Structure 1
Amino acid sequence: MSILELRKLWGNRPLIGAAVGVLIQDETGRVLLQRRGDDGLWGEPGGALEPGEDFLTGARRELLEETGLVCPDLALMPLPNGLQSGPELFHRYPNDHEIYIVGMRAQGTLPASALEHAQPDDSGETLELRWFALDDLPPLSNNANRQSLSVLRARVGQPPLPLLPWPPTPPIGNYLMDLRKLVGARPLFAPGANVLVTDDQNRLLLLRHGGTGKWTVPGGSLEPGESFEDCARRELFEETGLSAGKLEPLEMFCGPEYRFTYLHGDVVDNVSVLYRAQSVTGQLTPQDGEVLGVGWFGMAELPGDDELSGNLIQDNLNVWKGGQGT
């Protein structure tokens, strides 16, 4: 379901919005910003993903809608700088809708002259488009924009932009379950994180999931205000009793191939960051109910694809297999 559809059922309460920001620079390093129709302030083009959409497709669509421009070299920014998440990315719109922005940043280049051909759509989202030097920025709309522009500023040795204050993070609950009570089985974005854990024999930890009966890696869905990394840490500890001294982000998985239908019919569009756990401590203690069993698997011992919990887990394991020996 789209954000607008959810709002009709959820009201103004905070939603987790899977979104993409688009950072376009010209030949002098200036960044393209739009003056927004909702608050009159400035920010990078971008917005919420459509159901089943991947981040790069969403970035191209949002850029076209909000500027009328096409950027041939548009690409997702590498991790970790490409990731957006955390309590500071809370935003309250002028209509009082509240959101925690999570997702990715895309980057590309266009000549300054491209702006002469800009034609935003008629939605009213874009009031004006201009190029700005990174050391001479206009009033910005929210912390997502501040963080994105700070990534660009860091590349040229400029300090980060100060962030606006944000409210206390809500207590951990069961965000997706609460949404399900309102929307039924319809597709929902499920931003979250998964974790690769290996032992001293370089065997991979897999869990037999209580909801599917199939093998998966530790992980789960974000709660409002959580960062991807905080989610990874929490889910790892809840499901296994283990803690990671460091979590290295490896890859973001998002797109129609990662839609998953549970046995009871609920559908999710996974938006998942895969982490590699390092300096793991604690005693392996499977979570009652959610974890039916655990196993350590060497490369030649991994379950077959039909024993894994969907395409997301299959591709998580492919990343692990591809990284052996590095």
Structure 2
Amino acid sequence: MPRRDYEDDPDAPRANSLVPAASVVVVDEEGRVLLQRRTDNGRWALPGGTMEIGESLADCGVRETFEEAGITIEVTGIVGTYTNPGHVLAYDDGEVRQEFSVCLLGRPTGGELRVSDESHEVAWFTPAETDDLPMLPSIRKRLSDWRAGRGPVVR
């Protein structure tokens, strides 16, 4: 389901749904962060996605990280909550979601890096290596908040 992100864009469509989602800043023992290059926009992003009925937010983060990157994780904290009503995600089916994402902090416990239907590439990056990667402002904000040690933030 292709999507288009709008952030503080006066021409953005009006939101018609609100869906809880989790993203995860997964940090390995060397201080590197796990990112995936998304198939829908070609940009680097944190693993994450929408919650399913019957799962906790932490379970969502664990599931999405494994599905999208092949890595099993333990959730160790919260980077922040991101609910900017000016950030909407418009899907081809007419759904327009207002951002509602909790960014978790996690550490890898196993698995092997692999791509999925949602990613062209998955890789570990030092924080400095993420500076020049193409990514949406909403993802960069989460990484910046983690790097600055601001968490948990409420945005």
TM-score range, shorter chain: 0.7 to 0.9
**In the superposition, relative to structure 1, how do residues 316 and 265 fare at CA in structure 2: closer, same or farther (>3 Å)?**
farther
Whole-Å Cα distance in 2 between the matches of residues 196 and 208 of structure 1? 15
Is 1:257–1:311's contact at 8 Å kept on the other side of the alignment? no
Whole-Å Cα distance in 2 between the matches of residues 271 and 225 of structure 1? 18
Per residue, is there more helix in 1 or in 2? 1
Per residue, is there more strand in 1 or in 2? 2
Which residue of structure 2 lines up, in the alignment, with residue 18 of structure 1? none
C-alpha distance after superposition, 1:162-214 (max 9, x if no partner): xxxxxxxxxxxxxxxxxxxxxxx963212110111123321211101111211
Is residue 2:44 matched to residue 1:215?
Answer: yes
Which residue of structure 2 lines up, in the alignment, with residue 242 of structure 1? 71
Is 2:76–2:107's contact at 8 Å kept on the other side of the alignment? yes
What is the Cα-based RMSD across aligned positions, in Å? 2.6
Is residue 2:123 matched to residue 1:295?
Answer: yes
**In the superposition, relative to structure 1, how do residues 253 and 282 fare at CA in structure 2: closer, same or farther (>3 Å)?**
same
Is 2:69–2:115's contact at 8 Å kept on the other side of the alignment? yes
C-alpha distance after superposition, 1:95-121 (max 9, x if no partner): xxxxxxxxxxxxxxxxxxxxxxxxxxx
Task: Give the aligned residue type for 2:118.
Answer: E
Q: Which one of 289, 293, 312 corresponds to residue 138 of structure 2?
A: 312
C-alpha distance after superposition, 1:52-93 (max 9, x if no partner): xxxxxxxxxxxxxxxxxxxxxxxxxxxxxxxxxxxxxxxxxx
DSSP-derived class of the 2:99 partner: strand
Whole-Å Cα distance in 1 between the matches of residues 68 and 22 of structure 2? 13
Which residue of structure 2 lines up, in the alignment, with residue 251 of structure 1? 80
Q: State how many pairs are aligned.
A: 137
TM-score, L = length of structure 2 = 0.75
Is 2:81–2:103's contact at 8 Å kept on the other side of the alignment? yes
Gaps in structure 1 of 5+ consecutive residues: 1-184
Q: CA deviation at 1:304?
A: 4.2
Whole-Å Cα distance in 2 between the matches of residues 318 and 258 of structure 1? 17
Is residue 2:152 matched to residue 1:323?
Answer: no
Identity value in percent: 32
Gaps in structure 2 of 5+ consecutive residues: 1-13, 151-155
